[in-house]
Amino acid sequence: MVSVCFYFQVHQPFRLRKYSVFDIGNNSEYFDEYKNREIIKKVANKCYLPTNRLLLELIKKHNGKFKVSFSISGVALDQFEKYAPEVLYSFRELARTGCVEFLNETYYHSLSYLFDKDEFKEQVMMHREKIKDLFGQESKAFRNTELIYNNELANYVQGLGYKTILAEGADHILGWRSPNFVYTPKTAESMKLLLKNYKLSDDVAFRFSNKGWSEHPLTVEKYSRWISSNNGNGYVINLFMDYETFGEHQWEDTGIFKFMERLPEEILRHPDNSFVTVSEAAEKYVPVAEMDIHHFMSWADVERDLSAWLGNQLQNSAASELYKVGRLVKKSGDTGLIDDWRKLTTSDHFYYMCIKWFSDGDVHKYFNPYDTPYEGFITFMNVLNDIVIRVKEFNKKKMAAMGQKGSEAYLHQGEAAFKQEFISEHPSESLINLKIEYDETNPATETVIKK
């Protein structure tokens, strides 16, 4: 018996507009309204709407035997509500079938677990409530941003009440073992761990239209044979991929929709095959072993590590400053300011600063609004500078509203704390005066940052 577990990631960030040093302190409109709307509309028409229609037809055609799982970031859901409500409606139609599961993740698709676990927990709880509100589901399955995972994270997520977690089935972790079984995370004995079968997933997500691939063209019959060959040699085939695979990464004229249309029928021809959601896979199969994963891994790039987001000094400096500023932003209690800051935690902003230009270069250019990683870094830091100014202005207004005695007390407890936590570590306008030496003719060189 072998079950096919389709899991799709749906995410689009709030991209920043061209925000220059002259905007700092003068304009707090950070996000590119036109570009964000344009991209959502484009991907909705090419991917989300036609693929959702197809999945709904397949569920009905196969009387509920075809099932899939999704994780949709909170920022993607916000943009659907704002720019393309028809997409949100189509996902709700899928939810009503009872054959589609919606997993939880960080609301802002962030790296927050790596920097601030309290913020991580808050974003997870926000996402949990959003999914419950929109789709009426309270999932017990969790996927972290970009499948970033290790033992410690599994233990922490177990403490939040989740029973299942997803991760990459990386060769350097699995060794001789197969991703086609259910495992238990080390230090999180009550959880089930599902690992991506990256070969079979990437055959569709990346190689489907590659005419140079030895297996091209990928037919439904061929792919179904590969899946069915695991009968007796595995329990569950975890096909994890970006939802934009359908119609966006693999265009309609490649035949991707016709492939998906015929796939369930062909797989179900084998009497021992079935489709399951993530939680159903975890409930159906007993773990075969414990998986001990100390170092963080992800599903990004050939390295399967954190280097896509934290692989150079540009990225590390930006992320470090972001979360230092975040502590002060959250203390302000200003909801608009906090939301703007949280949109900066989205992992894509750091992905755009990546200096990999070799095997994974084309992937990093996809949907990238910048010409160079340096441009992405400067824009991000300019926005962060403006947020620092807004926090200081907010504190001043708060002091003024409190009157002389109140402001003196607040100065002691509030402004002094601000200076102690940030200004003492970063001299006045230190972010603005940050000097970067960057060789644009050789982006692979290590970036040197000096103050």
Q: Which two tokens stand for residue 29?
A: 């409109």
Assess whether pLDDT exceeds 90 at residue 433.
no
Question: Please, which residues have CB within 8 angstroms of residue 71's CB and are 6 or more apart in sequence?
Answer: 7, 8, 9, 10, 102, 103, 104, 105, 143
- CA-wise closest residue to 241 among 359, 146, 382, 368: 146
Question: Please, which residues have CB within 8 angstroms of residue 161's CB and are 6 or more apart in sequence?
Answer: 140
Query: What structural domains does the chain harbor?
Result: 2-291 (3.20.110.20), 307-450 (no CATH)
In angstroms, the CA 395 to CA 388 distance is 11
Assess whether pLDDT exceeds 90 at residue 431.
no
Assess whether pLDDT exceeds 70 at residue 39.
yes
Q: Which two tokens stand for residue 213?
A: 């691939």
Greater confidence, 325 or 428?
325
Q: Which two tokens stand for residue 273?
A: 């095959």
pLDDT at 169: 96
339-384: pLDDT as tens digits: 999 999 999 999 999 987 534 445 445 568 898 999 999 999 999 9
pLDDT at 275: 98
- CA-wise closest residue to 81 among 36, 30, 139: 36
Stated pTM of the model: 0.89
In angstroms, the CA 284 to CA 420 distance is 53
**What average pLDDT does the segment 129-152 reach?**
97
Greater confidence, 426 or 288?
288
Q: For the chain, give the mean pLDDT.
A: 90
pLDDT at 12: 97
Assess whether pLDDT exceeds 90 at residue 9.
yes
270-302: pLDDT as tens digits: 988 999 999 999 999 999 999 999 999 999 888
Assess whether pLDDT exceeds 70 at residue 18.
yes
pLDDT at 409: 56
Upstream peptide bond of 217 is cis (omega within 30 degrees of 0): yes
Assess whether pLDDT exceeds 90 at residue 418.
no
Q: Are strands 182-185 and 290-291 parallel, antiparallel or unpaired?
A: parallel
pLDDT at 233: 86
Q: Which residues are catalytic?
A: 146
Residue position matching structure tokens 């209690």: 333
Q: Are strands 192-196 and 273-275 parallel, antiparallel or unpaired?
A: unpaired
Q: Are 441 and 424 in contact (CB under 8 A)?
A: no
**What average pLDDT does the segment 2-23 reach?**
97
pLDDT at 450: 36
Distance, first Cα to last Cα, the chain: 61
Q: Are 447 and 437 in contact (CB under 8 A)?
A: yes
Assess whether pLDDT exceeds 80 at residue 118.
yes
Percentage with pLDDT > 70 across the chain: 87
Query: Across-strand partners of 10?
Result: 72
**What average pLDDT does the segment 22-40 reach?**
97
In angstroms, the CA 179 to CA 183 distance is 9
Rounded to the nearest 5 degrees, what angle is found at the Cα of 336, between the Cα atoms of 332 and 342? 85
Q: Are 162 and 153 in contact (CB under 8 A)?
A: no
Assess whether pLDDT exceeds 60 at residue 440.
no
Q: Which two tokens stand for residue 340?
A: 């703007």
User: Per residue, what are the HEC states of the chain?
Assistant: CEEEEEEEEECCCCCECCCCHHHCCCCCCCECHHHHHHHHHHHHHHHHHHHHHHHHHHHHHCCCCCCEEEEECHHHHHHHHHHCHHHHHHHHHHHHCCCEEECECCCCCECHHHHCHHHHHHHHHHHHHHHHHHHCCCCCEECCHHHCECHHHHHHHHHCCCCEEEEECCHHHHCCCCCCCEEEECCCCCCEEEEECHHHHHHHHCCCCCCCCCCCCCCHHHHHHHHHCCCCCCCEEEEEEEHHHECCCECHHHCHHHHHHHHHHHHHCCCCEEECCHHHHHHHCCCCCEECCCCCECCCCCCCCCHHHHCCHHHHHHHHHHHHHHHHHHHHCCHHHHHHHHHHCECHHHHCCCCCCCCCHHHHHCCCCCCCHHHHHHHHHHHHHHHHHHHHHHHHHHHHHHHHHHHHHHHHHHHHHHHHHHHCCCCCCCCCCCEEECCCCCCCCCCEEEC
159-177: pLDDT as tens digits: 999 999 999 999 999 999 9
